[in-house]
Amino acid sequence: MASSTLNLCCTIEGASAEQQAAMDLLGKQFLLPDERLAAITKEFRRRMEEGLAADGKVLKMIPSFVTWRPKGNETGSYFAIDLGGTNLRVLKVTLNGKGGVTTEHQKFTLTQEAKSRTLFDFIAQCVETFLDDRNLRPTGRQPPISIGFTFSYPVQQTSINSGILAQWTKGLNVPGCVGRDVVRLLQDALLRLGLRVKVAALVNDTVGTLLSAAYNDPSSQIGIIFGTGTNAAYYENVSNVAKWKGANPASGEMVLNMEWGAFDSDDFAFLPYTPHDIKLDRKSINPRKQAYEKMISGLYLGEVARNIILWLADQRLLFDGRSSEILNAMWSIDTSYLSSAAIDNTPDLSEIQQIIEKTLNVPTSTMVDRRIFKTIAVLVGERAARLSAVGVVATLTKRLELLSKKINIGIDGSMYEHFPGFKEILAETVSHFIPEDKFKNINFSLAKDGSGIGAAIVAMLATQTQ
Protein backbone atom coordinates (compact mmCIF):
# COMPACT_ATOMS: atom_id res chain seq x y z
CA MET A 1 0.00 0.00 0.00
CA ALA A 2 1.16 3.48 -0.74
CA SER A 3 1.94 5.87 2.06
CA SER A 4 -0.74 8.33 3.02
CA THR A 5 0.32 11.00 0.55
CA LEU A 6 -3.11 12.02 -0.54
CA ASN A 7 -2.49 13.16 -4.10
CA LEU A 8 -0.20 10.32 -4.95
CA CYS A 9 -2.61 7.69 -3.73
CA CYS A 10 -5.74 9.08 -5.30
CA THR A 11 -4.54 10.39 -8.64
CA ILE A 12 -6.06 8.15 -11.26
CA GLU A 13 -4.28 8.03 -14.60
CA GLY A 14 -6.70 8.80 -17.43
CA ALA A 15 -9.56 9.87 -15.13
CA SER A 16 -11.98 12.61 -16.15
CA ALA A 17 -12.09 15.76 -14.02
CA GLU A 18 -15.32 14.53 -12.37
CA GLN A 19 -13.85 11.13 -11.58
CA GLN A 20 -10.73 12.73 -10.14
CA ALA A 21 -12.78 15.12 -8.01
CA ALA A 22 -14.72 12.19 -6.54
CA MET A 23 -11.50 10.30 -5.80
CA ASP A 24 -9.98 13.37 -4.16
CA LEU A 25 -13.00 13.58 -1.91
CA LEU A 26 -12.55 9.91 -0.96
CA GLY A 27 -8.90 10.62 -0.27
CA LYS A 28 -9.86 13.38 2.14
CA GLN A 29 -12.33 11.12 3.90
CA PHE A 30 -10.17 7.99 4.14
CA LEU A 31 -6.57 9.14 4.51
CA LEU A 32 -6.38 10.24 8.09
CA PRO A 33 -3.57 12.57 9.11
CA ASP A 34 -1.62 11.79 12.28
CA GLU A 35 -3.25 14.70 14.13
CA ARG A 36 -6.66 13.14 13.57
CA LEU A 37 -5.41 9.79 14.84
CA ALA A 38 -3.89 11.51 17.88
CA ALA A 39 -7.27 13.02 18.78
CA ILE A 40 -9.01 9.65 18.40
CA THR A 41 -6.31 7.97 20.52
CA LYS A 42 -6.80 10.53 23.29
CA GLU A 43 -10.50 9.75 23.40
CA PHE A 44 -9.75 6.01 23.27
CA ARG A 45 -7.54 6.35 26.36
CA ARG A 46 -10.27 8.31 28.16
CA ARG A 47 -12.75 5.54 27.32
CA MET A 48 -10.34 2.89 28.64
CA GLU A 49 -10.12 4.68 31.97
CA GLU A 50 -13.91 5.00 32.09
CA GLY A 51 -14.27 1.24 31.47
CA LEU A 52 -11.72 0.45 34.21
CA ALA A 53 -13.69 2.54 36.68
CA ALA A 54 -17.20 1.17 36.18
CA ASP A 55 -19.30 -1.46 34.41
CA GLY A 56 -21.60 -0.69 31.49
CA LYS A 57 -19.24 1.65 29.64
CA VAL A 58 -18.60 1.68 25.93
CA LEU A 59 -15.20 0.00 26.36
CA LYS A 60 -16.18 -2.85 28.64
CA MET A 61 -12.64 -3.67 29.88
CA ILE A 62 -13.88 -7.06 31.13
CA PRO A 63 -11.91 -8.88 33.84
CA SER A 64 -11.10 -12.32 32.40
CA PHE A 65 -10.21 -14.00 35.72
CA VAL A 66 -6.92 -15.04 34.09
CA THR A 67 -4.34 -13.96 36.66
CA TRP A 68 -1.43 -16.21 35.70
CA ARG A 69 1.11 -16.43 32.94
CA PRO A 70 2.29 -19.67 31.42
CA LYS A 71 6.01 -20.32 31.96
CA GLY A 72 6.50 -22.06 28.64
CA ASN A 73 7.77 -25.24 30.31
CA GLU A 74 4.32 -26.75 30.87
CA THR A 75 3.73 -30.08 29.17
CA GLY A 76 0.73 -32.29 28.44
CA SER A 77 -2.29 -32.46 26.19
CA TYR A 78 -5.33 -30.27 26.67
CA PHE A 79 -8.57 -29.70 24.79
CA ALA A 80 -10.33 -26.61 23.47
CA ILE A 81 -13.36 -25.51 21.50
CA ASP A 82 -12.91 -22.40 19.34
CA LEU A 83 -16.15 -20.83 18.19
CA GLY A 84 -15.85 -18.24 15.44
CA GLY A 85 -18.57 -16.64 13.33
CA THR A 86 -18.70 -19.26 10.59
CA ASN A 87 -16.66 -22.17 11.90
CA LEU A 88 -16.10 -24.15 15.00
CA ARG A 89 -12.88 -25.97 15.75
CA VAL A 90 -12.32 -28.66 18.34
CA LEU A 91 -8.66 -29.04 19.24
CA LYS A 92 -6.29 -31.25 21.16
CA VAL A 93 -3.28 -29.13 22.03
CA THR A 94 -0.02 -30.74 23.11
CA LEU A 95 2.44 -28.48 24.91
CA ASN A 96 6.06 -29.53 24.37
CA GLY A 97 7.52 -27.78 27.42
CA LYS A 98 9.72 -25.50 25.34
CA GLY A 99 7.16 -22.87 24.38
CA GLY A 100 6.01 -24.87 21.36
CA VAL A 101 2.77 -26.70 20.67
CA THR A 102 1.37 -29.23 18.26
CA THR A 103 -2.32 -29.32 17.59
CA GLU A 104 -4.73 -31.84 16.25
CA HIS A 105 -7.99 -30.24 15.24
CA GLN A 106 -11.21 -30.73 13.37
CA LYS A 107 -13.12 -27.91 11.74
CA PHE A 108 -16.92 -27.85 11.52
CA THR A 109 -18.98 -25.34 9.57
CA LEU A 110 -21.85 -23.87 11.55
CA THR A 111 -25.10 -24.99 9.98
CA GLN A 112 -27.95 -22.56 9.41
CA GLU A 113 -29.88 -24.39 12.11
CA ALA A 114 -27.00 -23.98 14.56
CA LYS A 115 -26.81 -20.29 13.79
CA SER A 116 -30.50 -19.74 14.18
CA ARG A 117 -31.45 -22.14 17.00
CA THR A 118 -29.38 -25.04 18.17
CA LEU A 119 -25.91 -23.57 18.58
CA PHE A 120 -24.93 -25.22 21.85
CA ASP A 121 -26.27 -28.67 20.94
CA PHE A 122 -24.34 -28.36 17.69
CA ILE A 123 -21.12 -27.54 19.57
CA ALA A 124 -21.63 -30.50 21.91
CA GLN A 125 -22.14 -32.81 18.91
CA CYS A 126 -18.89 -31.56 17.36
CA VAL A 127 -17.02 -32.32 20.59
CA GLU A 128 -18.57 -35.80 20.61
CA THR A 129 -17.53 -36.42 16.99
CA PHE A 130 -13.98 -35.24 17.70
CA LEU A 131 -13.60 -37.49 20.74
CA ASP A 132 -15.29 -40.53 19.23
CA ASP A 133 -13.32 -40.33 15.97
CA ARG A 134 -10.12 -40.50 18.01
CA ASN A 135 -11.29 -42.96 20.62
CA LEU A 136 -10.82 -40.34 23.32
CA ARG A 137 -14.28 -40.35 24.91
CA PRO A 138 -13.85 -40.88 28.68
CA THR A 139 -15.70 -43.89 30.04
CA GLY A 140 -17.58 -43.89 33.36
CA ARG A 141 -14.42 -44.90 35.26
CA GLN A 142 -12.22 -42.15 33.83
CA PRO A 143 -12.13 -38.57 35.08
CA PRO A 144 -13.91 -36.05 32.86
CA ILE A 145 -11.94 -34.19 30.23
CA SER A 146 -11.34 -30.51 30.98
CA ILE A 147 -11.87 -28.26 28.02
CA GLY A 148 -11.27 -24.57 27.34
CA PHE A 149 -14.02 -22.74 25.47
CA THR A 150 -13.04 -19.84 23.24
CA PHE A 151 -16.09 -17.72 22.72
CA SER A 152 -15.38 -14.67 20.57
CA TYR A 153 -18.24 -12.45 21.68
CA PRO A 154 -18.66 -9.96 24.53
CA VAL A 155 -19.28 -11.85 27.74
CA GLN A 156 -19.40 -10.35 31.21
CA GLN A 157 -17.33 -13.02 32.99
CA THR A 158 -18.44 -14.06 36.43
CA SER A 159 -15.63 -16.58 37.01
CA ILE A 160 -12.97 -18.34 34.96
CA ASN A 161 -15.66 -20.69 33.66
CA SER A 162 -18.88 -18.71 33.61
CA GLY A 163 -20.06 -15.57 31.90
CA ILE A 164 -23.15 -13.80 30.68
CA LEU A 165 -23.45 -12.98 26.98
CA ALA A 166 -23.84 -9.19 26.66
CA GLN A 167 -24.67 -9.15 22.94
CA TRP A 168 -23.91 -10.94 19.70
CA THR A 169 -21.50 -9.33 17.23
CA LYS A 170 -20.04 -10.19 13.80
CA GLY A 171 -23.20 -11.46 12.18
CA LEU A 172 -24.09 -14.25 14.64
CA ASN A 173 -27.47 -13.76 16.25
CA VAL A 174 -28.78 -16.89 17.94
CA PRO A 175 -31.98 -16.07 19.86
CA GLY A 176 -32.32 -16.87 23.57
CA CYS A 177 -28.63 -16.52 24.51
CA VAL A 178 -28.12 -12.86 25.42
CA GLY A 179 -28.28 -12.47 29.21
CA ARG A 180 -27.47 -16.14 29.83
CA ASP A 181 -24.37 -17.99 31.01
CA VAL A 182 -22.84 -19.45 27.86
CA VAL A 183 -20.88 -22.09 29.80
CA ARG A 184 -24.09 -23.31 31.42
CA LEU A 185 -25.70 -23.54 27.98
CA LEU A 186 -22.76 -25.57 26.67
CA GLN A 187 -22.35 -27.71 29.79
CA ASP A 188 -26.07 -28.65 29.64
CA ALA A 189 -25.77 -29.58 25.97
CA LEU A 190 -22.72 -31.78 26.75
CA LEU A 191 -24.67 -33.45 29.56
CA ARG A 192 -27.58 -34.15 27.24
CA LEU A 193 -25.15 -36.22 25.15
CA GLY A 194 -23.80 -37.96 28.26
CA LEU A 195 -20.31 -36.64 27.57
CA ARG A 196 -17.89 -36.55 30.49
CA VAL A 197 -16.46 -33.19 29.49
CA LYS A 198 -16.13 -30.26 31.88
CA VAL A 199 -15.84 -26.71 30.58
CA ALA A 200 -12.93 -25.52 32.74
CA ALA A 201 -12.36 -22.11 31.19
CA LEU A 202 -14.28 -19.55 29.19
CA VAL A 203 -11.93 -17.45 27.13
CA ASN A 204 -12.33 -14.60 24.70
CA ASP A 205 -10.30 -15.17 21.52
CA THR A 206 -8.03 -12.22 22.34
CA VAL A 207 -7.31 -13.68 25.77
CA GLY A 208 -6.51 -17.01 24.09
CA THR A 209 -4.25 -15.27 21.60
CA LEU A 210 -2.39 -13.51 24.42
CA LEU A 211 -1.94 -16.70 26.43
CA SER A 212 -0.71 -18.69 23.46
CA ALA A 213 1.74 -15.90 22.61
CA ALA A 214 2.84 -15.88 26.27
CA TYR A 215 3.49 -19.64 26.27
CA ASN A 216 5.85 -19.05 23.37
CA ASP A 217 7.33 -15.73 24.55
CA PRO A 218 7.05 -14.68 28.21
CA SER A 219 7.40 -11.00 27.27
CA SER A 220 3.90 -11.06 25.70
CA GLN A 221 1.63 -8.38 27.16
CA ILE A 222 -1.11 -7.82 24.58
CA GLY A 223 -3.18 -10.15 22.39
CA ILE A 224 -5.08 -8.73 19.44
CA ILE A 225 -7.45 -10.00 16.77
CA PHE A 226 -7.65 -8.16 13.46
CA GLY A 227 -9.89 -10.59 11.61
CA THR A 228 -13.60 -10.91 10.92
CA GLY A 229 -14.00 -8.76 14.03
CA THR A 230 -11.48 -6.91 16.15
CA ASN A 231 -10.60 -6.73 19.82
CA ALA A 232 -7.67 -6.84 22.26
CA ALA A 233 -6.74 -8.16 25.69
CA TYR A 234 -3.81 -7.14 27.88
CA TYR A 235 -2.30 -7.72 31.31
CA GLU A 236 -3.35 -4.92 33.70
CA ASN A 237 -2.42 -4.30 37.34
CA VAL A 238 -5.52 -5.13 39.34
CA SER A 239 -4.88 -2.01 41.40
CA ASN A 240 -5.70 0.00 38.26
CA VAL A 241 -9.11 -1.67 37.87
CA ALA A 242 -11.25 0.38 40.24
CA LYS A 243 -14.41 -1.57 39.42
CA TRP A 244 -12.84 -4.93 40.43
CA LYS A 245 -14.47 -6.04 43.67
CA GLY A 246 -13.01 -9.55 43.82
CA ALA A 247 -10.01 -10.79 45.75
CA ASN A 248 -6.61 -9.46 44.84
CA PRO A 249 -4.78 -12.16 42.88
CA ALA A 250 -1.34 -13.21 44.12
CA SER A 251 0.22 -12.06 40.85
CA GLY A 252 -1.38 -8.63 41.24
CA GLU A 253 -2.40 -8.67 37.60
CA MET A 254 -5.22 -9.87 35.40
CA VAL A 255 -5.90 -10.08 31.69
CA LEU A 256 -8.62 -7.66 30.62
CA ASN A 257 -10.76 -8.21 27.55
CA MET A 258 -11.20 -4.68 26.26
CA GLU A 259 -13.98 -5.32 23.70
CA TRP A 260 -12.52 -2.41 21.78
CA GLY A 261 -14.66 -3.02 18.68
CA ALA A 262 -17.38 -1.02 20.45
CA PHE A 263 -15.29 2.16 20.70
CA ASP A 264 -17.33 5.30 19.86
CA SER A 265 -20.60 3.35 19.54
CA ASP A 266 -22.42 5.45 22.14
CA ASP A 267 -22.11 8.86 20.56
CA PHE A 268 -20.54 8.30 17.12
CA ALA A 269 -18.45 11.41 17.71
CA PHE A 270 -14.79 10.59 17.11
CA LEU A 271 -14.33 8.10 14.29
CA PRO A 272 -14.19 9.41 10.71
CA TYR A 273 -17.66 8.35 9.56
CA THR A 274 -18.39 8.73 5.85
CA PRO A 275 -21.83 8.29 4.25
CA HIS A 276 -20.57 4.85 3.15
CA ASP A 277 -20.00 3.80 6.78
CA ILE A 278 -23.32 5.19 7.92
CA LYS A 279 -25.13 3.27 5.18
CA LEU A 280 -23.42 0.06 6.24
CA ASP A 281 -24.21 0.64 9.90
CA ARG A 282 -27.87 1.37 9.23
CA LYS A 283 -28.33 -1.86 7.28
CA SER A 284 -26.26 -4.08 9.57
CA ILE A 285 -27.84 -6.49 12.05
CA ASN A 286 -26.40 -4.40 14.90
CA PRO A 287 -26.91 -0.70 14.04
CA ARG A 288 -25.15 1.84 16.30
CA LYS A 289 -22.96 -0.93 17.74
CA GLN A 290 -19.33 -1.98 17.11
CA ALA A 291 -18.53 1.30 15.35
CA TYR A 292 -14.74 0.84 15.48
CA GLU A 293 -14.98 -2.79 14.38
CA LYS A 294 -17.02 -1.75 11.35
CA MET A 295 -14.14 0.42 10.06
CA ILE A 296 -11.41 -2.10 10.73
CA SER A 297 -12.43 -5.66 10.33
CA GLY A 298 -12.85 -8.16 7.56
CA LEU A 299 -16.56 -8.70 7.93
CA TYR A 300 -17.26 -5.11 6.95
CA LEU A 301 -14.57 -3.65 4.69
CA GLY A 302 -15.89 -5.24 1.51
CA GLU A 303 -19.28 -3.69 2.20
CA VAL A 304 -17.78 -0.23 2.78
CA ALA A 305 -16.05 -0.60 -0.60
CA ARG A 306 -19.30 -1.75 -2.24
CA ASN A 307 -21.07 1.35 -0.98
CA ILE A 308 -18.33 3.54 -2.44
CA ILE A 309 -18.47 1.70 -5.77
CA LEU A 310 -22.23 2.12 -6.07
CA TRP A 311 -21.95 5.79 -5.09
CA LEU A 312 -19.53 6.28 -8.00
CA ALA A 313 -21.54 4.14 -10.44
CA ASP A 314 -24.72 6.03 -9.59
CA GLN A 315 -22.98 9.24 -10.65
CA ARG A 316 -21.82 7.50 -13.85
CA LEU A 317 -18.23 7.82 -12.70
CA LEU A 318 -17.62 4.08 -12.68
CA PHE A 319 -18.55 1.21 -15.03
CA ASP A 320 -20.32 3.80 -17.21
CA GLY A 321 -23.10 3.86 -14.64
CA ARG A 322 -23.77 0.11 -14.80
CA SER A 323 -24.06 -2.30 -11.91
CA SER A 324 -25.20 -5.93 -11.67
CA GLU A 325 -27.58 -7.95 -9.57
CA ILE A 326 -24.62 -9.32 -7.62
CA LEU A 327 -23.06 -5.92 -7.02
CA ASN A 328 -26.43 -4.55 -5.92
CA ALA A 329 -26.72 -7.20 -3.19
CA MET A 330 -25.42 -6.33 0.28
CA TRP A 331 -22.21 -8.09 1.36
CA SER A 332 -21.46 -9.27 -2.20
CA ILE A 333 -17.91 -7.89 -1.99
CA ASP A 334 -15.82 -10.07 0.24
CA THR A 335 -12.89 -8.34 1.90
CA SER A 336 -10.60 -10.91 0.27
CA TYR A 337 -11.47 -9.30 -3.11
CA LEU A 338 -10.06 -6.05 -1.78
CA SER A 339 -6.89 -7.89 -0.72
CA SER A 340 -6.49 -9.26 -4.24
CA ALA A 341 -7.23 -5.87 -5.81
CA ALA A 342 -4.78 -3.99 -3.59
CA ILE A 343 -1.85 -6.12 -4.79
CA ASP A 344 -2.81 -6.45 -8.44
CA ASN A 345 0.25 -5.06 -10.22
CA THR A 346 -0.38 -6.66 -13.61
CA PRO A 347 -0.13 -4.21 -16.54
CA ASP A 348 -3.83 -4.44 -17.36
CA LEU A 349 -5.01 -5.07 -13.78
CA SER A 350 -6.29 -8.45 -14.90
CA GLU A 351 -7.03 -9.75 -11.41
CA ILE A 352 -9.30 -6.74 -10.81
CA GLN A 353 -10.89 -7.20 -14.23
CA GLN A 354 -11.70 -10.78 -13.26
CA ILE A 355 -13.29 -9.63 -9.99
CA ILE A 356 -15.36 -6.91 -11.67
CA GLU A 357 -16.46 -8.82 -14.75
CA LYS A 358 -16.59 -12.46 -13.62
CA THR A 359 -17.18 -12.42 -9.88
CA LEU A 360 -19.37 -9.33 -9.70
CA ASN A 361 -20.81 -9.80 -13.18
CA VAL A 362 -20.49 -6.17 -14.28
CA PRO A 363 -20.45 -6.39 -18.13
CA THR A 364 -17.20 -4.52 -18.90
CA SER A 365 -14.58 -2.38 -17.24
CA THR A 366 -12.11 0.17 -18.58
CA MET A 367 -8.58 0.60 -17.28
CA VAL A 368 -9.75 3.72 -15.43
CA ASP A 369 -12.54 1.70 -13.76
CA ARG A 370 -9.98 -0.86 -12.62
CA ARG A 371 -7.59 1.79 -11.32
CA ILE A 372 -10.43 3.34 -9.35
CA PHE A 373 -11.38 -0.09 -7.96
CA LYS A 374 -7.80 -0.66 -6.84
CA THR A 375 -7.58 2.75 -5.21
CA ILE A 376 -10.80 2.12 -3.28
CA ALA A 377 -9.34 -1.16 -1.97
CA VAL A 378 -6.14 0.61 -0.92
CA LEU A 379 -8.01 3.48 0.74
CA VAL A 380 -10.34 1.26 2.74
CA GLY A 381 -7.42 -0.98 3.80
CA GLU A 382 -5.16 1.93 4.69
CA ARG A 383 -7.81 3.57 6.85
CA ALA A 384 -8.38 0.24 8.62
CA ALA A 385 -4.67 -0.23 9.33
CA ARG A 386 -4.18 3.33 10.59
CA LEU A 387 -7.27 3.21 12.79
CA SER A 388 -6.09 -0.15 14.13
CA ALA A 389 -2.95 1.60 15.33
CA VAL A 390 -5.13 3.84 17.52
CA GLY A 391 -6.15 0.93 19.77
CA VAL A 392 -2.59 -0.39 19.90
CA VAL A 393 -1.13 3.02 20.82
CA ALA A 394 -3.81 3.66 23.43
CA THR A 395 -3.12 0.28 25.07
CA LEU A 396 0.65 0.72 24.96
CA THR A 397 0.55 4.21 26.44
CA LYS A 398 -1.67 2.90 29.23
CA ARG A 399 1.25 0.64 30.25
CA LEU A 400 4.12 2.79 29.07
CA GLU A 401 6.34 1.49 31.88
CA LEU A 402 6.42 -1.90 30.15
CA LEU A 403 8.19 -0.41 27.16
CA SER A 404 11.44 0.07 29.00
CA LYS A 405 12.18 -3.53 28.06
CA LYS A 406 11.25 -5.86 25.22
CA ILE A 407 7.54 -6.64 24.90
CA ASN A 408 5.71 -8.89 22.50
CA ILE A 409 2.25 -8.30 21.04
CA GLY A 410 0.61 -11.48 19.73
CA ILE A 411 -1.76 -10.80 16.84
CA ASP A 412 -4.00 -13.08 14.84
CA GLY A 413 -6.69 -12.62 12.22
CA SER A 414 -7.14 -12.45 8.48
CA MET A 415 -6.68 -8.68 8.17
CA TYR A 416 -3.32 -8.84 9.92
CA GLU A 417 -2.18 -11.98 8.19
CA HIS A 418 -3.44 -11.42 4.68
CA PHE A 419 -4.44 -7.85 3.85
CA PRO A 420 -1.58 -6.41 1.78
CA GLY A 421 0.35 -3.75 3.65
CA PHE A 422 -1.81 -3.95 6.78
CA LYS A 423 0.87 -5.06 9.21
CA GLU A 424 3.48 -2.67 7.82
CA ILE A 425 1.17 0.35 7.99
CA LEU A 426 0.01 -0.66 11.46
CA ALA A 427 3.58 -0.84 12.80
CA GLU A 428 4.64 2.32 11.01
CA THR A 429 1.68 4.26 12.35
CA VAL A 430 2.33 3.03 15.89
CA SER A 431 5.93 4.24 15.51
CA HIS A 432 4.68 7.80 14.91
CA PHE A 433 3.16 7.90 18.40
CA ILE A 434 5.64 6.02 20.58
CA PRO A 435 9.10 7.45 21.32
CA GLU A 436 11.78 5.73 19.27
CA ASP A 437 13.73 4.30 22.23
CA LYS A 438 10.53 2.61 23.43
CA PHE A 439 9.19 1.60 20.01
CA LYS A 440 12.32 -0.46 19.35
CA ASN A 441 11.35 -2.72 22.26
CA ILE A 442 8.05 -3.73 20.67
CA ASN A 443 7.78 -6.97 18.78
CA PHE A 444 4.64 -7.66 16.75
CA SER A 445 4.23 -11.39 16.20
CA LEU A 446 1.67 -13.48 14.38
CA ALA A 447 -0.01 -15.76 16.94
CA LYS A 448 -1.49 -18.10 14.37
CA ASP A 449 -4.54 -19.99 15.67
CA GLY A 450 -3.67 -18.63 19.10
CA SER A 451 -7.29 -18.34 20.22
CA GLY A 452 -7.90 -22.09 20.47
CA ILE A 453 -4.39 -22.94 21.70
CA GLY A 454 -4.67 -20.27 24.38
CA ALA A 455 -8.00 -21.64 25.58
CA ALA A 456 -6.39 -25.05 26.12
CA ILE A 457 -3.59 -23.34 28.06
CA VAL A 458 -6.08 -21.46 30.24
CA ALA A 459 -8.01 -24.69 30.85
CA MET A 460 -4.74 -26.29 31.99
CA LEU A 461 -3.79 -23.37 34.26
CA ALA A 462 -7.32 -23.14 35.67
CA THR A 463 -7.39 -26.86 36.52
CA GLN A 464 -3.92 -26.77 38.10
CA THR A 465 -4.66 -23.77 40.29
CA GLN A 466 -8.03 -25.00 41.55
Residue 153 interacts with ligand BGC (CB under 6 A): yes or no: yes
Provide, rounded to whole angstroms, the least separation between the CB of residue 153 and ligand BGC.
Answer: 5
Stretch near ligand BGC under the rule CB under 6 A, chosen from 14-22, 39-47, 71-79, 148-156: 148-156
CA–CA gap between residue 138 and residue 432 (Å, rounded): 54
Provide, rounded to whole angstroms, the least separation between the CB of residue 154 and ligand BGC.
Answer: 5
In the set 82, 259, 369, 412, which binds ligand BGC (CB under 6 A)? 259
x/- track of binding to ligand BGC for residues 424-443 (CB under 6 A)? --------------------
CA–CA gap between residue 311 and residue 29 (Å, rounded): 14
CA–CA gap between residue 343 and residue 363 (Å, rounded): 23
* Candidates 4, 47, 64, 89; catalytic one: 89
Stretch near ligand BGC under the rule CB under 6 A, chosen from 95-103, 146-154, 276-284, 432-440: 146-154
Provide, rounded to whole angstroms, the least separation between the CB of residue 89 and ligand BGC.
Answer: 14
* Candidates 4, 64, 146, 152; catalytic one: 152
| Residues in 155-174 that interact with ligand BGC by CB under 6 A | 169-170
Which CB sits closer to ligand BGC, 19 or 157? 157
In the set 221, 231, 274, 408, which binds ligand BGC (CB under 6 A)? 231
Q: Assess whether 306 carries a catalytic annotation.
A: no
Helix (H) or strand (E) holding 425: helix 422-431
CA–CA gap between residue 190 and residue 182 (Å, rounded): 12
Residue 152 interacts with ligand BGC (CB under 6 A): yes or no: yes
Are 229 and 394 in contact by the 8 Å Cβ rule? The answer is no
Q: Assess whether 89 carries a catalytic annotation.
A: yes
Write b or e for each residue in 427-462: b if 16 or more Cβ atoms lie within 10 A of its Cβ, otherwise e: bebbeebbeeebeeebebeebebbbbbbbbbbbbbb
Residue 225 interacts with ligand BGC (CB under 6 A): yes or no: yes
Residue 261 interacts with ligand BGC (CB under 6 A): yes or no: yes
Three-state DSSP at 351 gives helix
Q: Assess whether 196 carries a catalytic annotation.
A: no
In the set 82, 181, 205, 264, which binds ligand BGC (CB under 6 A)? 205
Are 287 and 318 in contact by the 8 Å Cβ rule? The answer is no
Q: Tell me which residue has its CB nearest to ligand BGC.
A: 229
CA–CA gap between residue 331 and residue 301 (Å, rounded): 9
Q: Where are the strands (E) in 204-276, listed by range?
A: 220-226, 230-237, 253-257
CA–CA gap between residue 445 and residue 455 (Å, rounded): 19
x/- track of binding to ligand BGC for residues 277-296 (CB under 6 A)? ----------------x---
Q: Where are the strands (E) in 286-412, listed by range?
A: 407-412
Q: List, as one string, the DSSP characters of 146-185.
A: EEEEEE-S-EEEEETTEEEE----TT---TT-TTSBHHHH
In the set 51, 148, 154, 381, which binds ligand BGC (CB under 6 A)? 154
Active-site residue set: 89, 152, 205
Residues that bind ligand BGC (CB under 6 A): 152-154, 169-170, 204-206, 225, 227, 229-231, 259, 261, 293
